[in-house]
Amino acid sequence: MKILAFAGSTSSTSINRELVKFVLKDFQDEEINLIDLNDFTMPVFSVDLEKKGFPDEAHNFLKQIEECDVIICSLAEHNRSYSSAFKNVFDWSSRINVKVFQNKPMLLMSTSPGGYGGGNVMNTAKTFFPQFAADVKETFSLPKFYENFDLETGVINPDMLKELKDKIENFKNEVKGND
């Protein structure tokens, strides 16, 4: 199974990237492509720029999705929505192919330092990603990242760790059921 993994952030200290890396430990036997949104930097989307053509980075992002079997991502929440970096990649890509996620099974996550765990961006993504051909199989939000996550060991809250591990197992079973 080929996994495309990313955090919806360009921060060098992204807590969402840390969550993705932790989850990927449960997929060690799989082929993993952990991408960095910094490799997909483009001008801010506009119809005027679109008329001049699409950036190679947007095509490359879609190619990464095309070449994978499943997607694991964790979205950063900025002002109760997607980070501008992710939104821009998403906007450009969706203008090339409205089915951005190409019907790939997705484990969708979010985390934040606050008590809602990126719940606003999660609710938005759960609603809109399927309209862009995401097959969201499981979701997980981790609140209070700095209280519930250790950079060496991962999720340290036992209840949240159990919830996450159960969702990972469910995701794996769902994906296997699609083979």
Regarding the domain delimited by 2-177, which CATH topology (the fold level of the hierarchy) does it fall under? Rossmann fold (3.40.50)
The pLDDT value given to residue 177: 77
Mean pLDDT of 121-143: 97
pTM for this predicted structure: 0.96
Domain boundaries defined on the chain: 2-177
13-46: per-residue pLDDT in tens?
999 999 999 999 999 999 999 999 999 999 999 9
51-103: per-residue pLDDT in tens?
999 999 999 999 999 999 999 999 999 999 999 999 999 999 999 999 999 99
pLDDT confidence tier of residue 156, bands split at 50, 70 and 90: very high
The pLDDT value given to residue 28: 95
Contacts 24+ apart (CB under 8 A), 129-134: 129/101, 132/90, 132/94, 132/98, 132/99, 132/100, 132/101, 133/98, 133/99, 133/100, 133/101, 133/102, 133/103, 133/104, 134/71, 134/100, 134/101, 134/103, 134/104, 134/106, 134/108
